Amino acid sequence: MSLRTKLIAGTFGLVLGTSGLMAFLERWEGAGQNVVYADRLARGLPTVCAGITKHTSPYPVVVGDYWSDDRCGEVERLVVTKGQLMLADCIKNPAISQNTFDALYSHGHNNGVPSTCASRAMRLINAGKIADGCRALAYGPDGRPVWAYVTRADGTKQFVPGLHNRRIAEMELCLK
């Protein structure tokens, strides 16, 4: 039985869209962001609520549009549930905790679940090296920050301290 099937059946001990995860996402994605804005770190990608974009929303996401709290809540729950089920397909280690699952999802919410699934962190966690995998959410094997850079218009990479702070918070949540 796959982790996804166990999650749906409620037999794995992990829960989708916990209040802790939703609060964690709001901390990093913003709470009460009801007007769609052009996210400058994502090259102007229209974003609303807690990080909802055209890539995740069933509704159009148009800069300047207003989304009610009810619509934000509805779409956030939908996006998190769908994303966590996708993430569950990548997890092969049944020994992960809710905190590790939520930290991996936060990373996927910000970077895309396929990127998280293909990450060094996921490989380590699936190999049973959970603590090493958690640390890999924020640091490379050489100790340098990872997943904390944006690509500028000229193609160069720029370190973003706020992204690294989020990676550290994900690492800490993952290690709990």
Judge whether 160 lies within some domain.
yes
Judge whether 52 lies within some domain.
no
Judge whether 16 lies within some domain.
yes
Judge whether 22 lies within some domain.
yes
Tens digit of pLDDT for each residue in 84-109? 999 999 999 988 999 999 999 999 99
Tens digit of pLDDT for each residue in 128-143? 999 999 999 999 999 9
Judge whether 56 lies within some domain.
no
- Residues of the domain holding 162: 3-29+77-175
Number of independent structural domains in the chain:
1
Residue 58 CB contacts under 8 Å (≥ 6 apart), including other chains: 75, 78
Give first-to-last CA distance, the chain, whole Å: 26
Judge whether 48 lies within some domain.
no
Judge whether 50 lies within some domain.
no
Judge whether 128 lies within some domain.
yes
Question: Residue 86 belongs to a domain with what CATH number?
Answer: 1.10.530
What pTM value is reported for the model?
A: 0.90
Q: Per residue of the chain (176 residues), give pLDDT as tens.
A: 566 666 555 556 788 899 999 999 999 988 789 999 999 888 899 999 999 999 999 999 999 999 999 999 999 999 999 999 999 999 999 889 999 999 999 999 999 999 999 999 999 999 999 999 999 999 999 999 999 999 888 989 999 999 999 999 999 999 99
